[in-house]
Chains A and B, each alone.
Chain A
Amino acid sequence: MIDVAPESKKAKDLKGDFWDAKNIQISIGEIITEEKPPEEEVKGPKPRPHVTDLRSWDMKLLERYEPFYAPFCDMCCLCTYGKCELLGKKGACGIDAATQQARTVLLACLIGTAAHAGHARHLVDHLIERLGEDYKIDLGSNVDIEAPITRTVMGKRPATLGDLREVMDYAEEQMSHLLSACHTGQEGDSKDFESKAFHAGLMDDLTREVADLAQIVALDLPKGDEDAPLVELGFGTIDTEKPVVLCIGHNVLPGADIVDYLDENEMEDQVEVCGICCAAIDVTRYNEAAKVVGPLSKQLRFIRSGVADVIVVDEQCVRTDVLEEALKNRSAVIATTDKMCLGLPDMTDEDPDKIVNDLINGNIEGALILDPEKVGEVAVKTAMKLAPIRKSLKKLPDIDEIIELASECTDCGWCQRVCPNSLPVMDAVKKAADGDLSKLEEMAIEELCYTCGRCEQECERNIPIVSMVTKAGERRVKDEKYRIRAGRGPAQDVEIRRVGAPIVLGDIPGVVAFVGCSNYPEGGKDVALMAKEFLERNYIVVTTGCGAMSIGEYRDEDGQTLYEKYGGQFDAKGLVNMGSCVSNAHVSGAAIKIANIFAQKPLEGNFEEIADYILNRVGACGVAWGAYSQKAAAIATGVNRWGIPVVLGPHGSKYRRLFLGRADDEEKWKLKDLRTGEVIDGEPAPEHLLYAAENREEATVMIAKLCIRPTDTPKGRQMKLSNYIDLHRKYLGTIPDDIDRFIRTEKDIPIVYKRDVMKILEEKNWKPRELPKEPSLLER
């Protein structure tokens, strides 16, 4: 048989009439029409679960990890009965404060899920249009379980892009039911709202997997390659002498077509293509010559710097005032998706050269172009023409101007009061007025300021504080040169085979996933320091999105970034950048694959058994230190439903809901031992399902604790407790007072700490207890 697929998988090569013959394969001597393989048999009880089908599992989780609500607002403002105040009262519709919080959380999760689902739907439909619905889902010989979430939820493996569309149909239907439950006069119980939020999270997981699978196979992104290339990261890597095209957002298609256009016209060396947020990650997965400016926190700073000649925005996490900001510097803006049109004229059907001329001449403020290929051409041509014109523009205030602007400060102090992290903004401005820019520079370099711009909005003298911070940081920009490993996609099956037993038995003390956005309390360095801590302790460290970038922006004492120091293998001491936001699906995917490949649990339609397995055996913990978005809420809630705990940074408390366990209530931790059928005493492992820590030190200790699982062998438990005790001693100065809860027999006690721990056990009148053989929350 002759393989007729083109060698190149570049987006541009996937166009044309050739694919109209997509269902035809050519073999010697005959033409055969490909036959679809028969539908796989569903093995588990709940394929394509409807909203209430997994409710019993949710209630088990919620009984152990009760929702902890911290209302952001005392009111409900959703209908015209109100506003209703819910402080100790019910609203006009009968809703109470707890239920209203749960409802708000469900709404947030659905917004997040819709963002991923909209992204996935766009990718799938677009790629089907280019490649045909029979285009194969093939992640290569090292990844047989290509879609663990889809297999589990849908009850079958997706073989083609067309199958992914079917997954989207199902997820969108579920989202519609879930959203309807938020209407006034529908759901009236907080735990049922939470069960629905779990379901929204699961749909989020599913659609993220669809999005990443589609782009991996169709655009030939790395397929679980531990040696994915190291790509350039940081402001300082951008060659400002060249025209610069900046991509912001999450959808790879416009960025991929920009790279293709350059490639096709042999202009690769003439234009810099860079990105912020997940678009950056995914474009560098597509082409390693592209560069990552940095996480979301860099957005306004980079736009204000004026370096970008053209700003291409797609969807999610883009500043909604991007056009206004870009116009200040005469950067051209191209909007590329239906999610964000910015009031711009739709130029999709216009001649590319006319669009370029309109942009250059200022006939239009920007352009909405819904054809990624056309975006590629227009972005490059515009950048080439605009760059020389813009060179003469002054984009930032100079030092004298900063001093003059700063002297306008009236000492009102409101800039620091509205700063999310209460940074000493006014102090920095006052110092600048005296000619000392060091505090402004510190805010830029240490990334303490994530350039939200609220200080400027509040300033009664309209002092452009973010521009001043940007300018003050300018002289150090050249030092901002780092390396990040391009997102590799999923863990390979062979890797799961290798680490499955050590993870379940505890020999690898845990898998820690640093994911999410950059709403950090004290800069991105904290994420890198936590990653370093766990890498040095033999954990598997997984990362995605802005978290992956923040890890890359740190150099250790040897001057190396962690990506240069640690390999990309899914194994102990591996630093595994899986990719963008949507690649978070591979984090839960890896845990699911452990249940399937190591423990031989069937996936199809078998959600509860898989989640139960993960909760009790897979020592994984997610960390979303700078989570800010509704997407992050959906991701965390989805991951939680699979039984994986998540630690948030302090801003995460604003999500209004956590899932906290009560270690002091022994009844909550009883387990069913499926081997013996007995109900036995358990332990708070993992103690919480969704937790917000006040600072890095607290988070680090909590992460180590949340990797403990009932199935740890004594040797594995010793290792996990060693880490927990070490970190507790490092940051709090003592052996943790709750250590007795995690010692089942004396064999669990780390040898180094034996004497001290034994003393605590004696004080607490500790008694040994049985190790569960097959711990479960399920009834079987």
Chain B
Amino acid sequence: MIVLNDRIIPWQPTVIAGPKQAMLVTPETATMMIKKARRPLMVVGPLAKRQEVLEHTVKIIRHFDLPVVATADTYRALSEAGIESEPHGIVEITNLLKDPSWEGIRGEGQHDLVIFIGCIYYIASQGLSSLKHFAPHIKTLTICKTFHSNADASFPNMDDDEWFRYLEKMYAE
């Protein structure tokens, strides 16, 4: 039996849904995807409240001037870090993203790229599955330290040190 590279087996391996798997991306590719997008959106979940993660997240948001949705209770942490965001449950924002006619967070039209960080793995995986199936108008990118096979593009599984280096590369150019 061939053992696949652990870095690109979904973090929770049983979320594998079918033949289509996310593209493994480097920070450089992730950056390029954001730059190329016309209306990107950053979705920040509660696992990003951890101080070190929050600092990187804030820098990425500022670097790319991203509109932000905060899921669960992340709104307060972002607000205290000086980031304006709109609070939505992860299932609510996913539902809005599915609708091609939704005007988006800034009222400028539906987003074409959604970047996820800090959402709880398995519910994020479900949200990504929903977008994979029912939102062909949107690309999804996850920049967590866990590989998300239901995204279009994802960072690999890695430890904190490597992850923080990945995140830093995104805003340090």
Q: Are B89 and A702 in contact (CB under 8 A)?
A: yes
Name which of A209-217, A692-700, A740-748 contacts chain B: A692-700
Task: List B contacts of A87 (CB < 8 A).
Answer: 18, 20, 132-133
Q: Which residues of B contact A658 (CB under 8 A)?
A: 91
Question: Does A737 lie within 8 Å of B87, measured CB to CB?
Answer: yes
| Among A97, A651, A732: residue with most chain B CB under 10 A | A732
Contact yes or no, B129 A698, CB < 8 A: no
The verdict on B12 contacting chain A, using a C-beta distance below 8 Å, is: yes
If A422-B12, A692-B91, A733-B76 touch, whether A71 touches B129 (CB-CB below 8 Å) is yes
CB-CB under 8 A from A74, the residues of chain B are 17-20, 129, 133
Complex partner residue of B120 from A70, A73, A691, A695, CB under 8 angstroms: A695
The residue on B at minimum CB distance from A702 is B89
B46 partner residues in chain A, CB cutoff 8 A: 694-695
Are A660's CB and B13's CB within 8 A?
A: no
Is the pair B89, A71 in contact by a Cβ cutoff of 8 Å?
no
State whether the Cβ of A766 lies closer than 8 Å to any Cβ in chain B.
no
Query: By the criterion CB–CB under 8 Å, are B89 and A69 in contact?
Result: no
Shortest distance between the CB of A287 and any CB in chain B (Å): 40
- Whole-angstrom CA separation of A651 from B15 in the bound complex: 13
A 75-131 contacts with B by CB, 8 A: 75, 85-88, 97-98
Given contacts A73-B18, A420-B122, are A97 and B133 in contact (CB under 8 A)?
yes
A668 CB to nearest chain B CB (Å) = 12
Q: Does A72 contact B (CB under 8 A)?
A: yes
Which of A654, A694, A736 makes the CB contact (< 8 A) with B89? A694
Q: Is B156 an interface residue (CB 8 A)?
A: no
How many angstroms between the C-alpha atoms of A420 and B122 in the bound complex?
8
User: In the complex, A693→B133 CA distance in Å?
Assistant: 21
B87 contacts which chain A residues (CB < 8 A)?
A: 732, 736-737
Bound-state Cα–Cα, A418 to B122, Å: 11
- Smallest CB separation, B56 vs chain A (Å): 20
Report the separation of the CA atoms of residues A654 and B121 in the bound assembly, to the nearest whole angstrom.
12
Cβ of A637 within 8 Å of any chain B Cβ, yes or no, is no
State in angstroms the CA–CA spacing of A375 and B12 once bound together: 42
Contact of A691 with B89 at beta-carbon distance under 8 Å, contacts A654-B122, A732-B73 already known: yes
Chain B, residues 19-49, CB within 8 Å of chain A (1/0): the string is 1100000000000000000000000011000
0/1 interface trace, chain A 298-312, chain B, CB 8 Å (1 if under):
000000000000000
Size category, B interface: 35 or more
- The smallest beta-carbon distance between B7 and chain A, in angstroms, is 12
Q: Is the CB of A660 within 8 A of B92?
A: yes
B136 within 8 A of A: yes
Q: Do A422 and B89 form a contact, CB below 8 Å, given A70-B129, A694-B72?
A: no
With A694-B90, A733-B76 known to touch, is A85 a contact of B122 (CB < 8 Å)?
A: no
Q: In the complex, A660→B127 CA distance in Å?
A: 13
| Complex Cα–Cα for A697 and B77 (A) | 13
The answer to whether B89 and A653 touch across the interface, beta carbons within 8 angstroms, is no
Q: Is the CB of A653 within 8 A of B126?
A: yes
Specify which chain B residues have a CB less than 8 angstroms from the CB of A732 in the assembled complex. Answer: 73, 75-76, 87
Closest-by-CB residue of A relative to B128 is: A70
B119 within 8 A of A: yes
The answer to whether B133 and A69 touch across the interface, beta carbons within 8 angstroms, is yes
- Is A376's beta carbon under 8 Å from chain B? no
A734 interface contact, C-beta 8 A: yes
Check B71 against A694 for contact (C-beta < 8 Å).
yes
Q: Are B86 and A417 in contact (CB under 8 A)?
A: no
A753 located at the interface, meaning its Cβ lies under 8 Å from any Cβ of chain B in the complex: no
- Tell me which of B18, B95, B121 contacts A660 (CB under 8 A): B95
1/0 contact string of B98-123 vs chain A (CB within 8 Å): 11001000000000000000011111
- Chain B residues positioned under 8 Å from A697 (CB to CB): 72-73
- In the complex, which residues of chain A have a beta carbon less than 8 angstroms from the beta carbon of B166? none
Q: Which of B11, B73, B90, B130 interacts with A71 by CB under 8 Å?
A: B130
- B79 contacts A734, C-beta separation under 8 Å: yes
Cα A644 to Cα B85 with chains together (Å): 31
Proximity bits, B126-167, A CB within 8 Å = 1, else 0: 110110111010000000000000000000000000000000
CB atoms of A88 and B72 under 8 A apart: no
A728 to chain B, nearest CB (A): 9
From the candidates A69, A75, A660, A693, name the one contacting B134 in the complex (CB within 8 A).
A69
A521's nearest neighbour on chain B, judged by CB, is B120
Contact check, B76 vs A88: say whether CB atoms are below 8 A apart. no
**What CA separation (Å) do A737 and B92 show in the bound complex?**
15
**Identity of the chain A residue whose Cβ is nearest the Cβ of B91 in the assembled complex:** A692
Residue A391 CB within 8 A of the other chain: no
**A653 cross-chain contacts in B, Cβ below 8 A:** 91, 122-123, 126-127
Task: Report how far A589 CA is from B119 CA in the complex, Å.
Answer: 37
A354 within 8 A of B: no
Measured CB to CB, the nearest residue on chain A to B102 is: A664
Q: Are A98 and B127 in contact (CB under 8 A)?
A: no
The reply to whether the CB of A19 lies closer than 8 angstroms to some CB of chain B is no
A650 at the A/B interface (Cβ < 8 Å)? yes
Which residues does chain B contribute within 8 Å of A418, judged by CB atoms? 12-14
A732 to B73, CA, bound (A): 5
Within 8 A of B (CB), among A282-338: none
CB pair A662 B120 closer than 8 Å: no
Q: Closest chain A residue to B131 by CB distance?
A: A70
Of residues 65 through 99 on chain B, the ones whose CB sits less than 8 Å from some CB of chain A are 71-73, 75-76, 79-80, 86-87, 89-92, 94-96, 98-99
Asked if A733 contacts B122 (CB within 8 A), the reply is: no
- A75 and B136 CA atoms in complex are apart in Å by 18
**Is B121 within 8 A of A422, CB to CB?**
yes
Measured in the bound complex, the distance between the Cα atoms of B75 and A136 in whole Å is 56
Contacts of B127 in A (CB 8 A): 70, 653
Of all chain A residues, the one with the shortest Cβ separation from B121 is: A422
In the complex where A691-B89, A693-B89, A694-B119 touch, is A71 in contact with B72 (Cβ < 8 A)?
no
CB distance from B6 to the nearest CB of A (A): 8
- Chain B residues lying within 8 Å of A734, measured Cβ to Cβ, are 75-76, 79
Which residues does chain B contribute within 8 Å of A75, judged by CB atoms?
17-18
CB distance from B97 to the nearest CB of A (A): 11
Considering the chains assembled together, what is the distance between the CA atoms of A737 and B95 in angstroms? 18
The docked-state distance in angstroms from the alpha carbon of A695 to that of B70 is 13
Residue A68 lies at the interface, judged by CB distance under 8 Å to chain B: yes
Quick check: A85 and B19 within 8 Å, CB to CB? yes
B126 and A694 contacting across the interface, CB-CB below 8 Å: no
Bound-state CA distance A736–B76 (Å) is 12
Q: Which of B18, B71, B91, B132 contacts A68 (CB 8 A)?
A: B91
Report the bound CA distance from A367 to B92 in whole Å.
Answer: 50
Q: A420-B122, A691-B91 are contacts. A71–B17 as well, Cβ < 8 Å?
A: yes
Tell me, rounded to whole Å, the shortest Cβ–Cβ distance linking A86 to chain B.
8
CB distance from A62 to the nearest CB of B (A): 14
Identity of the chain B residue whose Cβ is nearest the Cβ of A728 in the assembled complex: B87
Interface residues of A in 391-408 (CB under 8 A from B): none
Q: Which residue of B lies closest to A652 (CB)?
A: B123
Scan A650-680; emit 1 where CB is below 8 A from any B CB, else 0.
1101101010101010000000000000000
The proximity string for A residues 680-724 relative to B, scoring 1 for CB distances below 8 Å and 0 otherwise, is 000000000001111101100010000000000000000000000
* Contact, CB under 8 Å: A731 / B76: yes
| A65 CB → nearest B CB, Å | 11
* B12 close to A417 (CB less than 8 A): yes
A698–B136 contact, CB under 8 A? Answer: no
Chain B residues closer than 8 Å to A650, beta-carbon distance: 120, 122-123
In the A-B complex, the 9 residue pairs with the closest CB atoms: A74-B18, A697-B73, A70-B126, A733-B76, A694-B72, A653-B126, A70-B130, A650-B123, A698-B72
Having A69-B134, A733-B76, one finds 6 other A-B pairs with CB under 8 Å, namely: A72-B129, A74-B17, A75-B17, A85-B19, A653-B122, A737-B86
Query: Can you list 7 contacts pairing A with B, beta carbon distance less than 8 Å?
Result: A68-B91, A68-B130, A70-B94, A85-B18, A653-B91, A734-B76, A737-B86
On B, residues with C-beta under 8 Å from A are: 11-14, 17-20, 45-46, 71-73, 75-76, 79-80, 86-87, 89-92, 94-96, 98-99, 102, 119-123, 126-127, 129-130, 132-134, 136
Interface residues of A (CB under 8 A from B): 68-75, 85-88, 97-98, 417-418, 420, 422, 521, 650-651, 653-654, 656, 658, 660, 662, 664, 691-695, 697-698, 702, 731-734, 736-737
